Amino acid sequence: MNALNWTETLRQQLEEAGIVVDQQESAYTPHALVWQVAAEVWQQLAELSMLQGLRWSAGWAEQTGEQFTVHALLEKQGVYLLIRTSIGYKKPELPSQASVYPAANRSERHTHDMFGIKFIGHPDKRPWTRHKAWDKHTHPLRKDFPVQGSPEIITPPDMDYPFIRSHGAGTYEIPVGPVHAGIIEPGHFRFQAVGELILNLEERLGYVHKGIEKIAEGRTPQSLARLAGRVSGDTTVSHSWAACMAMEQAAGLSIPGRAALIRGILAERERVANHLGDIGAICNDVAFVFAQMQFSRLRENWLRTHATVFGHRLLMDCVIPGGVKSDVSDSDCRLIKQDIIPLRKELTDIITALDLNSSLEDRVYTAGFLPEDIAAAFGTVGYVGRASGQDFDVRRDLAYPPYDQVKFKVALENQGDIASRFWIRYKEIIAALKLIEQFIDLLTPGEILEEWHVPVAGSEGLGIVEGWRGEIIAFVRFDGDNKISRFYPRDPSILNWPVLEKLVLNNIVPDFPVCNKSLNGSYSGNDL
């Protein structure tokens, strides 16, 4: 069924159910539809969308005067449907979509904590983002909340979160974190186990809530791009790109072709660097230190070229509104291409050695199994989803410049285990190297920055890009004077973190670290 067919079928079903849809003109992208519906049919619309096979992608809210507007973004076959509704300020209530789409669970809890919107029928009433930094009657994303808040001298410890308790003879609980034995960010994992077998896992995140959405208010486009690049520091290029794409759509601005190609080079180099690090870390978590050392060395060489060509090892602040910060010279392009030759050769040699290592295979094959139906139900994206048969990649299915100028193969696996997530990363590295070469070959002389157009007050945009972890969403609305009124970034980890609770079931406790690393969710990307 093509996009036109499923949207028309859904419209027809809504009409038969008595649901009135106001289809609005969208400045987002020709691939996105915007439907306004009444609040009371919010859940019913989700049910009909689920029957049509739409994937729940993101949800957020914003305050507009004396009311709230709530948004939910759905996707099918690379076509996005943005549904939204308006509710009153004094008693904000809305039927929950989380009972239909598990992916909406934590997003609605976040919206409740930040805006005070009650989702009727939600399956989990516990706070998500609010630990103890503000009380339950205070909501930081309301316009009357000061950006500095009203913090106590010492924030009370978050000790009374009602985790599910274990019951039964022989069962016990294992609390892990939030502070870990390493330099990773904080997150709490509460296990129920019998012997070494994991019976249940609950995550508790949000310990480093940064207030990204609040401190975005009132920023200029340039300042917002810098902030977006720090939503998750290992994804600075793609988050900045998504935010800039949204702002450029709101401003009615198209970036130069050369700038788009350079953005593509930056994004694919970011993808390669992170996948190299992840493959090594997966091996390290099963005590295969040799592989970890080799991949760390390859990643370090790659990052040094980042610094040489683009001025920053992690490519911070290279993507700016209207284009890119700096150009690449012919000698830069030659260096980038020369960098690829030894990396390809060494990867081939190292991967061959790994593939022949039986002890590594024993730890990663069949472990951390994520079935296709669970991956689909939670809307997983990126290498986590594609390792479990979810054949979706924004670069291909919603081809944006410069990906609309090239052809490439999207890696796909269906075994759903740690090994699949390992091999997806390797295949994506190989594809990314080819993309970088193609983008360099397509470079022609030209501008790298378009003059900024100040958007009118109320203008909005929706940026959708494929980061190295998967689909990234950025929503932006402008106030007057070229200032940001609302910014919502949705990192892929927000969709992928929940399935960690599923893929560890019936694994042994000692395999949790490698299960976790094979997913590698971003704590920072979750803890907005």
Are both 3-120 and 212-496 of the same fold? no
269 within 8 A of 333, measured Cβ to Cβ: no
459 within 8 A of 465, measured Cβ to Cβ: no
Residues 61-83 have a mean pLDDT of 93
Q: How far, in Å, CA of 380 to CA of 501, rounded?
A: 13
The model's confidence at residue 30, banded by pLDDT at 50, 70 and 90, is low
The model's confidence at residue 437, banded by pLDDT at 50, 70 and 90, is very high
- Within 13 Å and on the Cβ side, how many CA atoms surround 408? 27
Shortest CA distance to 259 belongs to which of 318, 218, 313? 318
Residue spans of the domains in the chain: they are: 3-120, 171-204, 212-496
Instruction: Give the pTM.
Output: 0.94
106 within 8 A of 494, measured Cβ to Cβ: yes
The model's confidence at residue 31, banded by pLDDT at 50, 70 and 90, is low
3-state secondary structure of 177: coil
Percent above pLDDT 90 for the chain: 81
Q: How far, in Å, CA of 72 to CA of 495, rounded?
A: 14
Say what the pLDDT of residue 17 is. 86
Q: HEC profile for 254-272?
A: CCCHHHHHHHHHHHHHHHH
130 within 8 A of 528, measured Cβ to Cβ: no
End-to-end CA distance of the chain: 37
CATH architecture of 3-120: 2-Layer Sandwich (3.30)
Six-digit token string for 350: 């190292």
- Give the list of residues 6+ apart from residue 422 with CB closer than 8 angstroms, or none: 279, 282, 364, 518
- pLDDT tens column, 462-503: 999 999 999 999 999 999 899 999 999 999 999 999 999 999
> Residue 226: pLDDT above 60?
yes
Q: How far, in Å, CA of 19 to CA of 39, rounded?
A: 11
- Give the list of residues 6+ apart from residue 133 with CB closer than 8 angstroms, or none: 149, 151, 155, 209
Residues 88-101 have a mean pLDDT of 94
Q: What value does the mean pLDDT of the chain take?
A: 93
Q: How far, in Å, CA of 302 to CA of 15, rounded?
A: 55
Q: How far, in Å, CA of 155 to CA of 307, rounded?
A: 39
Residue with tokens 């099918």: 76
3-state secondary structure of 104: helix
212-496: CATH topology? Cytochrome-c3 Hydrogenase; chain B (1.10.645)
